[in-house]
Chain A
């Protein structure tokens, strides 16, 4: 139904465009001077057709469900139901009207379901009437304005500008959405678990919180020693550290080689090949780490007499490092190539070899940019999810032994939220609190890194 209406409105838009343009030509034929190109007359009319339709559609989408619900529940208003029960009744009658209801059908619910259907159809038909009459009124108004040959280009362009501006707000809206989705759950979480316990506690057993029967009242003492995030944070930074131990030397050296030594031909082939590593989906790395690297390290360790977990931090961190190599190599390559040639020439003129020039002149000059690229790499490592979920452990051990298994923020979020979630449960909220800390940490890293890189670019441009 909505789709038919929508198509009809789009068709109306096109017809009004056509009529607008035609009107412009008739004005032109009376030897009057047009105020804009004929198509602007058409656009003008089409916009006047679209705006009321859009406004009414969105108002309807926002208010229809609430109003219908109010009307249906008004039948039950004096019967002493609790809010939750009313909601349940409403959902039941909605399900019944769609034919998806499986429970016991009481006459009450049946009556509400019928009422629901009739209300919906009333709403639907009144929507059609209102939308169409609004469109006709506004198009008629616009047509009158066109006929008097008033300005059309300026309003059309103003409208387009407004559309462009709204689109650019999408980025801000997304950020607001992220903060919004995280903050309420996080606040609820910290109402139950003190912030101090979360930040300094050393035991993380969210499964313990799950045993609770949902009908019991929240008992804060139950959660002491359950949501201590220290092992998680430690594991996250530890795995990121291992990853950077792999990624920094290899990435940096290959960046330097590509920028300073490699011939154009080698560069032409090696650079895109290395960048393939960045294009491989992380779940593929995770599979590789879990199935190949983990067991390989375990066997290697056993043959050397070491006890290695099959889900060691080393396997996850190492594979993550491979994933980050291209980020560091191409960013540092860019940074090094943008160091001015005069610095190199000066150094060569003093008799320095190429490596001495790189180590003593170019590297210090490019250092801020390189640090920026490394920080971006760290932020990647901290936010990486699939490798850790698949290759590292899920139990949070507080350890500094790379051969044991640890867990990270991202892995815990996935473990908690996979499957069905009950909002309002401290365990679910804990995932959002972890998400919040992840967001904040990576945000700080990103801001610092982007600022450093930007400052550096400005210096040499």
Chain B
């Protein structure tokens, strides 16, 4: 009898331990996913911050450039650089036939002509001389150099030919290939060529949309929260507004995209693909988030503050504006930043209002067409070229970096400035 009881007890204790283990492993799983995730992004993305350059000797032959004696600055601007660019690439292999010369040309980006031109514009004395110039390697060779491209595939399945690899290996052996920090990733706009594509345009697009979003959502949300928390009479209409806000907070983001498309673009005829429309759409989405955060922090201000102000003869409006609202601001601000961080990561609504268009200029105002960082991730992720894979991961790293900074900022505001009432 006693033994039976002990067995039962043991069984129950074992069940207890098992249950605990389930819980622990659930947490472990969740954290494992997070780790894999971050590891995967960083391991594919870090190499995008390096860029491969080929160092090629260029002879600035005045005749080939169609330049006269003592050319002026304008002459240098208008000169023909294509031929010397082509020639310097072809000179890498003196025995190359015509096809091979073409292949040599494709070892660098199509931008090589401009790079040579800039070199000469910086130093006009180079005419007639030979200088080693840094040229952007094509994205395939860039990937080969970083070790991301399988060299052992059969040649017809590769985008890099055996001949190109041979020349490239010679260059590597002579120390004529260099890897440097990839500044152009941050300063270039989007491009069809992976080696030239950068995040500047989408970054500016994101900044403009977030600013528009902030300028609309923050004032409206704070005013609405003040009304609902401090002034609204308890009646059906107020309840209706509240139900609306709570529902809007859970409406799928793509529905806001349809709203932007159907109302902002179709009815108000606002310009397509612009951060202005994107920002308005995002502001409608973040509105409920900020309202809820602002109301919570207004609610956290103890009634004694209001009572004291009222007792001193302040009107209700004065009490609210001079005492309650300033005290609630830290909470409201950190809620706003978190809402903006959400908006910054949003993609689907922006796709619907046309912010996926290919934009190869850097937008200068919210009225210029632009993409945004998450949309840029989507655009690049859909491209087949291998060079874009690391770009996507790098873009994700930039985006996550911003989100982390924003969230940290929200935390700091909350901890530093929020008053603890006890």
**Which A residues form the contact surface with B (CB < 8 A)?**
153, 157, 160-161, 163-165, 167-172, 174-175, 177-178, 180-182, 184-185, 249-254, 256-258, 260-262, 270, 273-274, 276-277, 279-284, 286-288, 290-292, 322, 325-326, 329, 353-356, 358-359, 376, 379-380, 382-386, 389-390, 410, 413-414, 417-419, 421, 423, 431-432, 435, 438-439, 442-443, 446-447, 449-450
Which listed residue (A257, A359, A421, A423) contacts B27, Cβ 8 A?
A: A257
A79 vs chain B, min Cβ distance (A): 26
Q: Is the CB of B374 within 8 A of A257?
A: no
Q: Is the CB of A168 within 8 A of B12?
A: no
B315 vs chain A, min Cβ distance (A): 6
Asked if B200 is at the interface (CB within 8 A of a chain A CB), the reply is: no
C-alpha gap A291/B264 in the complex (Å): 34
C-alpha gap A423/B262 in the complex (Å): 9
Q: Is the CB of A254 within 8 A of B27?
A: yes
Q: Is the CB of B253 within 8 A of A383?
A: yes
Asked if B232 is at the interface (CB within 8 A of a chain A CB), the reply is: yes
B41 vs chain A, min Cβ distance (A): 7
Nearest A residue (CB) for B35: A273
C-alpha gap A168/B237 in the complex (Å): 11
Q: A185-B262, A353-B12 are in contact. Are A277 and B33 (CB under 8 A)?
A: yes
C-alpha gap A202/B377 in the complex (Å): 34
C-alpha gap A402/B291 in the complex (Å): 40
Q: A164-B226, A167-B223, A254-B26 are in contact. Are A386 and B258 (CB under 8 A)?
A: no
Tell me the residues in window 286-324 of chain B with beta carbons closer than 8 Å to chain A beta carbons.
287-288, 291, 315-317
C-alpha gap A417/B263 in the complex (Å): 15
Asked if B15 is at the interface (CB within 8 A of a chain A CB), the reply is: yes
Chain B contacts for A157, CB-based, 8 A: 315-317
C-alpha gap A250/B284 in the complex (Å): 33
Chain B contacts for A435, CB-based, 8 A: 254-255, 258
C-alpha gap A283/B371 in the complex (Å): 14
Q: Is the CB of A279 within 8 A of B250?
A: no
C-alpha gap A386/B351 in the complex (Å): 10
- Size of the B side of the interface (Cβ < 8 Å), in residues, is 84
Asked if B378 is at the interface (CB within 8 A of a chain A CB), the reply is: yes
Q: Is the CB of A414 within 8 A of B16?
A: no
With most chain B CB atoms within 10 A of its CB, the pick from A250, A261, A354 is: A250
Q: A171-B287, A257-B23 are in contact. Are A291 and B381 (CB under 8 A)?
A: yes
Chain A contacts for B356, CB-based, 8 A: 418-419
Asked if B24 is at the interface (CB within 8 A of a chain A CB), the reply is: yes
Which listed residue (B25, B258, B377) contacts A181, Cβ 8 A?
A: B258
Nearest A residue (CB) for B406: A279
Complex A-B: 26 CB contacts under 8 Å: A161-B317, A163-B223, A164-B224, A178-B259, A250-B26, A252-B26, A253-B25, A254-B23, A257-B20, A273-B34, A279-B345, A280-B345, A287-B392, A355-B18, A380-B252, A389-B348, A390-B382, A414-B348, A414-B351, A417-B261, A417-B351, A419-B356, A435-B255, A446-B246, A447-B247, A450-B247
Asked if B153 is at the interface (CB within 8 A of a chain A CB), the reply is: no
Q: Is the CB of B315 within 8 A of A282?
A: no
Chain B contacts for A171, CB-based, 8 A: 224, 241, 244-245, 248, 287-288, 291
Nearest B residue (CB) for A323: B33
- Pick from B54-62, B133-141, B395-403 the stretch touching chain A: B395-403
Q: Is the CB of B33 within 8 A of A414?
A: no
Q: Is the CB of A170 within 8 A of B287?
A: yes
A70 vs chain B, min Cβ distance (A): 17
C-alpha gap A174/B285 in the complex (Å): 9
Q: Is the CB of B33 within 8 A of A322?
A: yes
Chain A contacts for B37, CB-based, 8 A: 280, 288
Q: Is the CB of A261 within 8 A of B20?
A: yes
Chain A contacts for B231, CB-based, 8 A: 161, 164-165
Q: Is the CB of A281 within 8 A of B232?
A: no
A358 vs chain B, min Cβ distance (A): 7
Chain B contacts for A177, CB-based, 8 A: 259, 263, 284
Which listed residue (A168, A170, A283, A354) contacts B345, Cβ 8 A?
A: A283
B214 vs chain A, min Cβ distance (A): 15
Asked if B418 is at the interface (CB within 8 A of a chain A CB), the reply is: no
Which listed residue (B221, B258, B399) contacts A413, Cβ 8 A?
A: B258
C-alpha gap A382/B254 in the complex (Å): 11
Which listed residue (A167, A358, A359, A413) contacts B220, Cβ 8 A?
A: A167
Q: Is the CB of B240 within 8 A of A284?
A: no
Asked if B352 is at the interface (CB within 8 A of a chain A CB), the reply is: yes
Asked if B101 is at the interface (CB within 8 A of a chain A CB), the reply is: no
C-alpha gap A383/B255 in the complex (Å): 9
Chain A contacts for B258, CB-based, 8 A: 178, 181-182, 413, 417, 431-432, 435
C-alpha gap A153/B378 in the complex (Å): 54
With most chain B CB atoms within 10 A of its CB, the pick from A170, A253, A322, A431 is: A170
Which listed residue (B16, B240, B291, B377) contacts A287, Cβ 8 A?
A: B377
A55 vs chain B, min Cβ distance (A): 19
Q: Is the CB of A174 within 8 A of B240?
A: no
Top 9 closest pairs, chain A to chain B, by CB: A383-B252, A257-B23, A181-B262, A281-B345, A167-B223, A253-B26, A355-B19, A164-B227, A385-B348
